[in-house]
Amino acid sequence: MKYRLPIFLLLSMILLPLAMQAQDRDRGYERRISMNVEQADIRTVLRSIAEFSGTNIVAGSEVTGPVTVLLNNVPWREALDNVLKINDFVSVEENGVIRVTTHKDIANAAKLEALETQIFNIEYARADQLRDVTSKLLTERGKVQSDVRANALIITDIPNVLADLGRIVKDLDKPTAQVLIEAKIVQVDHSRSRELGINWTAGNLSNPLANTRAGGNVDLGVKDPTGSFTLGKLENGANINAMLSALEDEKHAEVLSQPSVLINDNELATIISGKRIPINTLDLSGNLVTRFYDVAVKLNVTPHINPNNEVLMTLNPEVADLSGESTVAGGIIILTSEVRTTLLVKDGETVVIGGVIRSKQGSTDRRVPLLHAIPLFGRLFEYTVDTEDKSEILVFVTPHVIPAEMASK
């Protein structure tokens, strides 16, 4: 092996003064190193890094070969990892000693190393979810179980893997931000629903940064289907509570429900407002079975908070209603409308879901005062008027971001 003495001397001149300045070991890998060697023996380079960092580095007999390195002001541990990587070696740190060997020797040693079991108590996350993550990082002999009652992970593996998993679990087990979902389910006169200041005309579903309009049409093959969904946003500065109160005073609107739910980021929330009706059916054996079906407004919401404190909401509204018609056998027909979309809204901005139209038909008897009471001729002064009242179901969804610092208190 041909050594280049001038290059080694230059490397020693760079490293020795820095190593003499700090005799303690650099436990945080904070010291930075510069290296410029060509075809130098890897064991010599490892010895230089050990002297610079104050760390004990042991190399096996199989660790040989030349190395060419040009690094400028990088953390010494990063320099060590790169030197080993280009020569297909690997390092393992145990009790303050870094052992350098081949991947094969590491695998063989792991098969012979004694297993240990450690319990990780989870404070904020769910143990069953972390189990799926950690199970992919175990060795062939390792195993992980989750205790739902104690919300804990029970992991069995070699000590090095347990130490790495401990750091990973600690990083993942942190309080997350929450989202307060406020919903209003309102029945409004169809002619007045466009007076609420809602932007229904914005398109561009593919661009979540813009106001959005989406539709989910229904073709049920029956008369007067429930309708289709349309999504929009309230214009900036719109006071929805004041407008709904005014319409309620005029008997043009009715708030059917206004639920609120607090959920974690990226979790699913379900809001249902309506009723469940029993329907009798026959099972395969001919027995009478009563099943309950929701005739309601159902809304599934999954929020995701981005770094800009905006909320990316996955909305899945569903409306079910009874049809005025029935089947040939006299059965009940339930009309449903459903759509799924994703919208990006600001904290406190309101999304409106509309387009579900309900019709109520009736008749009104009209009479001319006094004249309708004339015998025989009174029927000429009375008549019947057919009426049809249309109302629209609007669902207002407003997300409010609760920061993780506040959610954990």
CB-based burial label for 17 (10 Å; 0-12, 13-18, 19+) = exposed
Reported in sequence order, the residue ranges of 3-94 that DSSP labels E, i.e. its strands, are 32-41, 56-59, 66-75, 89-94
Three-state DSSP state, 362:
strand
Q: How far apart are the first and last CA of the chain?
A: 64
Residue type, 389: D
Three-state DSSP state, 322:
strand
Question: Could you tell me which residues come within 8 angstroms of residue 265 by beta carbon, excluding any fewer than 6 positions away?
Answer: 176, 177, 178, 179, 303, 304, 305
Q: Per 3-state DSSP, what percentage of the chain is helix, strand, and coil (rounded to 5)?
A: 25, 45, 30
Question: Could you tell me which residues come within 8 angstroms of residue 110 by beta carbon, excluding any fewer than 6 positions away?
Answer: 139, 141, 158
Assign 223 a pLDDT band (cuts: 50, 70, 90).
very low
Model confidence at 99: pLDDT above 70 = yes
Q: Which two tokens stand for residue 83?
A: 């030197």
User: Span 296-317, mean pLDDT?
Assistant: 87
Within 13 Å and on the Cβ side, how many CA atoms surround 296?
A: 15
Would you state the pLDDT for residue 118?
92
Provide the pairing of β-strand 56-59 with 97-102: parallel
How many whole angstroms separate alpha carbon 155 and alpha carbon 134? 9
Three-state DSSP state, 101:
strand
Model confidence at 150: pLDDT above 60 = yes
How many whole angstroms separate alpha carbon 158 and alpha carbon 177? 34
Would you state the pLDDT for residue 54?
86
Domains within the chain, CATH numbers bracketed: 32-110 (3.55.50.30), 114-172 (3.30.1370.120), 182-187+253-362+383-406 (no CATH)
CB-based burial label for 249 (10 Å; 0-12, 13-18, 19+) = exposed
Whole-model pTM above 0.75? no
Model confidence at 360: pLDDT above 80 = no
Q: Which two tokens stand for residue 303?
A: 């929020």
Model confidence at 52: pLDDT above 80 = yes
How many whole angstroms separate alpha carbon 393 and alpha carbon 320? 11
pLDDT one-digit tens code per residue, 252-289: 777 778 888 888 888 898 888 888 888 877 778 878 88
pLDDT one-digit tens code per residue, 325-335: 655 556 677 77
User: Span 71-98, mean pLDDT?
Assistant: 86
